Structure 1
Amino acid sequence: MIRALTGYSTRHPWKVIALWAVLGFALIALAPTLFARVTQNQTGDFLPRSYDSAAALRIAEERFGVDPDTTTVTVLVGRADGQPLGTADHKRVEAEAAKLGGRRVDMPREDDAPKFLVPDRSQTPRIAPAMTAPDRSFELLSVELAGNPSDTGVQGVYRAFRDAARTQFAEAGMRTGFTGALADTVDTTDANKTATTVGGALLTGLIVLLNVLVFRSVLAAILPLLAVAVIGGAAAGAVAVAAMLTGLKLDASTPGLINVVLLGIGIDYLLFLLFRFREHLRSQPQQLAREAAAQVCARVGTAITSAALTIVAAFATLGVATFGQFRSLGPAIAVAVLVMLLGSLTLMPALLAAAGRKMFWPSRALRREPREGRAARLGALVTRRPLLMLTASVALLAALAAGLIGIRMDYGQGGGSGDTTPAAATAAEISRALPAGVSDPTSVYVTAKDDGPLTTARLDGLSRALTQVKGVGQVAPTVLNKDHRAARIDLYPNADPQSREARDLASGPIRDTVARHTPAGTAAHVGGTPAIIADISTAVDHDLRIVFPVAAALIGLILLLLLRSLLAPAILMISVGLGFAATLGAATLLFQHALGKPGVSFTLPLVLFLFVVALGTDYNILITDRIREEMRRPGPARAAVARAVRHTAPAVATAGLVLAGSFASLATTPGSEQVAFAMALGIMLSALVLSLVLVPALAALLGRSMWWPVRPVPQGAKEPGAATYAAPPHGRAQPDTTRTHQPTH
């Protein structure tokens, strides 16, 4: 199958390139519209129906008409001169709010964006009075806007509404402030706009610079970005189409994460092909470039396929997760990686066949054998002092893993900009006069199970009990729905709704009080952001205990089938396990212990495990496959390991730097700093420590026994194009003056 795909692509390169260009650019154009239809706003929607907060959310939708696709913005209005609001001021606020609520807000459009490709988020906001501060220093308005806060169209509508409201109230002698999830997202995005742009430019420059330094070629520097952009666009579109066909709902962060992952692994795979292609052309200077491309892509395609299937298998395990955000991320990443694999086996071979030796122009590296460099010296060092190198690498990983002591999970959903945004400043002003939860209440929903209707009197006992809960600043009057079969009691905690205190309050004292004082013949559920976060923590803890062993088992099975050994897969799994522990420990040391954060993000352990184990295994597959092939050649095992490191280290190091840089670019996305740091560090540890030091050192110590029970047997005769190697004292491997051996993975 692999040979058939790569063979057809190298025989008909321009047909394949044209097909990918049409498909890629079409899906790139459609992806924003498609993703807008398959993303959802409420985090609580990702929880199974059995969770208390999920049941409360369903009651809110079905009995009170709450639209799950809306986001609420809290508007603070006060007098510009700082005086308390009077009766006339309240009437003026009411009149201005009515004007704003009766006016449609148009979504700003980009001049270069075709209208049919951009979903129109223009809408008329729903505005209602919320609360007045006890000292009458301000009044709060609740504004509902339809759409996901991460949707750029919704953000544009909010900006237009915010500017109009600010101008209108200013003309009436009023000052305004805006807070809420959407307001904070927009403020944070605007504050990080320059950093995001610069970060993207630096990443692009890093990739181009690395390729220029490695290949000394224009095409080899630019082609990876163009090829991966086309395949990545097609992959993102395929994910959105698959989600639409299956009814799968994605988290708003999924498209951005897919782009980063595909950029990294796509360039990795193309680099593996480019390095091997160059090596092959050096050893076979008379061979036609298309024939060389076909042979190289067929060989490397096996390793790429195994690496990609490892990632797919790892993320497929998320299908057993209970938290829907994880469960939807798994299929999305799996589909995207499969499309990238298809592109790696078709478009990339076609590009190599079409460009041929011109791929490395104007470099003259194909005309001469490279001198021994750092990679050869590293291979010699690892094989000469394997025990020392193994001990040093394990000590480094263990020191970082020590940071896991006292690790805590942070379930906050904030944007990560602290109190520096205008939205955060407005929220702080509100909390000085009113309970912090006034703009995001914890709600108790009560439904009647008997034939009698609900009345406020029937629920007075529950309401009074809730006012006695320590930490609840205020309890709003009970609200009944139209048929009086359901009721809502809003609670305004003193703690920030995103904080651990609010979560513990909702999951502990509030739920305990509700359980004790719910009237007979009724059922009650606690909802709202703190309750949702509390239930998410329970779901995530459950998922971590299931997904980790299942993913490890699947990855181990793939390694067993690929390497045809029992010992080698065990070594690789132990090594990547050490890399995972070291990476998570380093993130804990930095963010929790050094920077004083509440903990590490609750999604970090699972996502980090999947990415570091799956992506890090790519490099281990590349180095172990090469070690096994070199051990089939005559000579000592340590000499084979040295040759494998010499030929593989440049590809692994360059690919690791590119992938780490891709993940580091996430740091410009608000709230993704921990993921960016941990992913970048984890990939660097996997590439530079595990794949190039720890695994080769073990291979040097174990020799051909590493492949037990099927040890590679040295071939008696030299293969075509193979070199003769002599093993000098202490196992140092040095090539002779003949031409290098036939290239391998």
Structure 2
Amino acid sequence: MAAIAALHSLPEDNVIRALTGFSTRNPWKVIALWAVVGIFLSGLGQALLFRATQSQAGDFLPSTYDSAAALKIAEERFGVDPDANAVTVLVARTDGKPLTGGDERTIGAVAEKLGRRHVTMPESDEGGPAFLAKDYSQTPRFSPAMVAPDRSFELLSVQLTGNVTDPGLQNLYRTVRDDTRQAFAEEDLRTGFTGGLADMVDTVDAEETTTMVVGILMIGLIVLINILVFRSVLAAFVPLLAVALVGGAASGAVVGVAMLTGIKLDPGTPSIINVVLIGIGVDYFLFLLFRFREQLRARPDLPARTVSGEVSARVGIAITSAALTIVAAFATLGIATFGQFRVLGPAVAVSVLVMLLSSLTLMPALLAVTGRKMFWPSRALAHEPRPGMSARVGDLVARRPLAVIVASLALLGALTAGLTGIRMDFGQGGGAHKTAAASTAAEITRALPAGVSDPATVYVQATDHRPLTTGRLAALPTALAEVKGVGKVGTTVLNDDRTAARIDLYLTADSQSAQARHLVAGPVRDTVARHTPAGTEAHVGGTAAIFADVSTAVDHDLAIVFPVAAVLIALILLALLRSLLAPAVLMIAVSLGFAATLGASTFFFQHLLDKPGVNFVLPLVLFLFVVALGTDYNILISDRIREEMEHPGPARAAVARAVRHTAPAIMTAGIVLAASFGSLGVNADPSTQQIGFATALGILLSAFVLSLLLVPALAALLGRGIWWPLRPRREQGHHLTDPPAEQPYRDGDLVH
């Protein structure tokens, strides 16, 4: 009990007050420092982003996985460049007739000519300072692949080296594609392009307008919500501008740390960071704005700078705890085995810490500078607003807590029922757009096995120091040819010193499909294990094998990350709420919210839309985002309930006041954060669509059901006993946040 009692005087409180106090006393210095640092780091991050990322999923797997071992043999024994990207080119006659011998000779001659042409990319295509630009100029490697059995087309393989997510390489591909198309068109031959790089560029081009429109709509929605809530120009735009500045600084800091340490980021990490920071940054600013407006209205005699300092110190405690909850949740990904998770977690954690620092410095400084002008031209500070929705919700929760609890649990339980029959979908999924690359792939599969442009590969390595021969390995390709689902087995290729061999497998299923993953992880690997000659070791690689191993790694990580993150979040709640019972209540609430969100998402995608299942990363993403971010709102309402219970009077009246004062901030912040994540729902990638939909739903449930209904109702039902074993001390005398005694339930609503 002594340890819990010591939490009443946490040293972190003094640190928070020191930061917010300094910022409100020296606001212009703080704003200037953030502006300089933010602009510098934003520019640096954009310039170095694609040097700090890697796009090959297999590179994120530990070496103990079979596909990772295959990649190592490919690089060390066959000189395969890990950044190499193969583009498959389909060449056919424009009149649709079968290729003739002369056509094939023409195709070979044109390919040879293109393979000698060095493609130079101008520095202006890369963007950023010239000394930081990555030069993707290179000579594409053209090589013949195969002719369709019906001679309807011939396939060529073109190799380009670089990061597929980098606009520089994408521009290089566009140049190579256009040159190739023109060269064959001059010979009256048509071309089609497919493969990972081709499909990505086509998808980027198809989504360009949609992405821009969605981004504009999201920003417009945030501004509109702020205008409706505060009826102020500055309150609508200042939070967004501040968060954009800090978000750029945070992304730059992450990229800079990655470059200095040699760690490679996943290409999706920067976009996830941006979404998270926009959401939580605007949330934290809204928490401060609502409390700032409340206190300016309640204490018109105090200078705005004094009020901003007091408000920032008080709300800063809740914001710090909320941010540390997110940091703790994502930091646990550092113990994951899958590299994408292991890198994503610390990256988001660092970004949130940067946003937390801005919440304790930049945001208070902006409040101190703008003062009451922050809410111009609204006259909301001049009068007490009429009782609104938040007052009615607070009154309902305080007067009928048991009914509210039953109704909330019924809703969450109904949504959780959607978990029945849940299946994990490990498919990457194609884009919503019917791209040219997808059409070319479909044309190829009508004449050849679906996996012909992206084969699975068996690598065999000698362990007894005896040279390998095709005869020694003959039993292995023969056995693989009999595996159902393997359409064709390529010729056994030995490396120069005959220490390793490569056998390509052309599967009848697309390499990114669930069928291909099951085939490789099961029958193919089983066959390889049984027929690998003595004195050798064999590993199965390729896209299907990599995705099969990724699914295994994710399952392993889920079992570790969930409990560790839950314990860390519980410890933070324990430190903030200074109670044993209250953290347990919040953890149960957020667990119910997580289950309800996953259940609703399963029902919607798997049962209603008849998808193969929910994306395999969705449970982890939901746990991190919904539990960690949703806990922000629970922390805010719980901290305010505790604060209100420190005043004299009934506990239920304190709960009603807490809901009345906090509901507008939580509702507004929840809508903004849900809109931020919901913007991902229009993405062409089905997995991103699921993440956007599910996370937005989870945030709304956390804000409107858990934080405004279930948690306050439980606090009203349990009274001050919820803070067992240390109940809030009932303070006497004047307090900055003392409620007006004449109106215990009437104050504030969502709009006024």
* TM-score (norm: length of structure 1): 0.96
Shift of 1:112: 7.8
Report if aligned partners of 1:507, 1:534 keep a CA contact under 8 Å in 2.
Answer: yes
Report if aligned partners of 1:723, 1:735 keep a CA contact under 8 Å in 2.
Answer: no
How do 1:328-407 residues align onto structure 2 when only pairs under 5 Å count? Answer: 328-407=343-422
**Match 1:131 to one of 146, 157, 170:** 146
In the other structure, the counterpart of 1:36 is 50
1:261 aligns with 2:272: no
Whole-Å Cα distance in 2 between the matches of residues 720 and 344 of structure 1?
Answer: 21
Cα RMSD over matched residues?
A: 1.6
Report if aligned partners of 2:295, 2:737 keep a CA contact under 8 Å in 1.
Answer: no
In the other structure, the counterpart of 1:698 is 714
AA aligned to 2:703 is A
Whole-Å Cα distance in 1 between the matches of residues 465 and 16 of structure 2?
Answer: 66
**Match 2:675 to one of 629, 636, 661:** 661
Shift of 1:276: 0.9
Whole-Å Cα distance in 1 between the matches of residues 362 and 431 of structure 2?
Answer: 39
**Match 1:12 to one of 11, 23, 26:** 26
Cα deviation 1:324-351 (Å, max 9, x = unaligned): 1110101100111111111111111111
How do 1:58-77 residues align onto structure 2 when only pairs under 5 Å count? Answer: 58-77=72-91
1:172 aligns with 2:183: no
In the other structure, the counterpart of 1:306 is 321
Structure-2 change in CA distance of 1:522 and 1:720 (3 Å): closer
Shift of 1:371: 1.4
In the other structure, the counterpart of 1:322 is 337
In the other structure, the counterpart of 2:240 is 225
Whole-Å Cα distance in 1 between the matches of residues 593 and 737 of structure 2?
Answer: 37
1:538 aligns with 2:549: no
AA aligned to 1:20 is W
Structure-2 change in CA distance of 1:539 and 1:682 (3 Å): same
**Match 1:642 to one of 656, 659, 671:** 656
**Match 1:504 to one of 484, 496, 518:** 518
In the other structure, the counterpart of 1:273 is 288
Cα deviation 1:88-117 (Å, max 9, x = unaligned): 111111121122222233446459855445
1:283 aligns with 2:298: yes
AA aligned to 1:153 is G
Report if aligned partners of 1:725, 1:734 keep a CA contact under 8 Å in 2.
Answer: no
AA aligned to 2:696 is A
In the other structure, the counterpart of 2:745 is 734
In the other structure, the counterpart of 1:295 is 310
In the other structure, the counterpart of 1:559 is 573
1:121 aligns with 2:132: no
Shift of 1:451: 2.4
Whole-Å Cα distance in 1 between the matches of residues 737 and 696 of structure 2?
Answer: 38
Partner-residue secondary structure (3-state), 1:559? helix
In the other structure, the counterpart of 1:730 is none
Report if aligned partners of 1:131, 1:141 keep a CA contact under 8 Å in 2.
Answer: yes
Moved more, 402-411 or 636-645: 402-411
In the other structure, the counterpart of 1:85 is 99
AA aligned to 2:725 is P
In the other structure, the counterpart of 1:678 is 694
Whole-Å Cα distance in 2 between the matches of residues 346 and 335 of structure 1?
Answer: 17
Structure-2 change in CA distance of 1:161 and 1:541 (3 Å): same
Shift of 1:32: 2.3
Whole-Å Cα distance in 1 between the matches of residues 497 and 125 of structure 2?
Answer: 46
Structure-2 change in CA distance of 1:214 and 1:726 (3 Å): same
Report if aligned partners of 1:32, 1:117 keep a CA contact under 8 Å in 2.
Answer: no
Whole-Å Cα distance in 1 between the matches of residues 320 and 389 of structure 2?
Answer: 29
In the other structure, the counterpart of 1:140 is 155
How do 1:405-420 residues align onto structure 2 when only pairs under 5 Å count? Answer: 405-417=420-432, 420=434
1:714 aligns with 2:727: no
Whole-Å Cα distance in 2 between the matches of residues 110 and 22 of structure 1?
Answer: 27
In the other structure, the counterpart of 2:449 is 435
1:463 aligns with 2:488: no
Cα deviation 1:413-465 (Å, max 9, x = unaligned): 234326x1111111111111111111111100000111210011111111111
AA aligned to 2:495 is N
AA aligned to 1:553 is V
AA aligned to 2:693 is F
Cα deviation 1:7-61 (Å, max 9, x = unaligned): 1111111111111111111111121232211211210111111111110010011
Whole-Å Cα distance in 2 between the matches of residues 367 and 611 of structure 1?
Answer: 39
Whole-Å Cα distance in 2 between the matches of residues 465 and 484 of structure 1?
Answer: 22
Structure-2 change in CA distance of 1:640 and 1:726 (3 Å): farther
AA aligned to 2:292 is F
Report if aligned partners of 2:720, 2:728 keep a CA contact under 8 Å in 1.
Answer: yes
Report if aligned partners of 1:635, 1:726 keep a CA contact under 8 Å in 2.
Answer: no
Whole-Å Cα distance in 1 between the matches of residues 461 and 740 of structure 2?
Answer: 82
Cα deviation 1:183-225 (Å, max 9, x = unaligned): 1111122222221111001101111001111111111100011
1:606 aligns with 2:617: no
Whole-Å Cα distance in 1 between the matches of residues 236 and 127 of structure 2?
Answer: 28
1:450 aligns with 2:464: yes
Whole-Å Cα distance in 1 between the matches of residues 701 and 361 of structure 2?
Answer: 30
Whole-Å Cα distance in 1 between the matches of residues 470 and 462 of structure 2?
Answer: 13
Partner-residue secondary structure (3-state), 2:192? strand
Report if aligned partners of 2:48, 2:132 keep a CA contact under 8 Å in 1.
Answer: no
In the other structure, the counterpart of 1:482 is 496
Whole-Å Cα distance in 2 between the matches of residues 71 and 578 of structure 1?
Answer: 44
**Match 1:723 to one of 720, 731, 739:** 739
Report if aligned partners of 1:556, 1:573 keep a CA contact under 8 Å in 2.
Answer: yes
Partner-residue secondary structure (3-state), 2:191? strand
Q: Identity of counterpart residues, as a percentage?
A: 69
In the other structure, the counterpart of 2:201 is 186
Report if aligned partners of 2:47, 2:129 keep a CA contact under 8 Å in 1.
Answer: no
Partner-residue secondary structure (3-state), 1:192? helix
AA aligned to 2:189 is M
Report if aligned partners of 1:436, 1:495 keep a CA contact under 8 Å in 2.
Answer: yes
Whole-Å Cα distance in 1 between the matches of residues 420 and 720 of structure 2?
Answer: 38
Whole-Å Cα distance in 1 between the matches of residues 207 and 259 of structure 2?
Answer: 32
Q: Name stretches of at least 5 consecutive residues in structure 1 with no aligned partner.
A: 728-732, 741-745
Report if aligned partners of 1:307, 1:621 keep a CA contact under 8 Å in 2.
Answer: yes
Report if aligned partners of 1:289, 1:357 keep a CA contact under 8 Å in 2.
Answer: yes
AA aligned to 2:196 is A
Whole-Å Cα distance in 1 between the matches of residues 544 and 76 of structure 2?
Answer: 21
Whole-Å Cα distance in 2 between the matches of residues 194 and 118 of structure 1?
Answer: 26
Partner-residue secondary structure (3-state), 1:144? strand
Partner-residue secondary structure (3-state), 1:462? helix
Shift of 1:713: 3.5
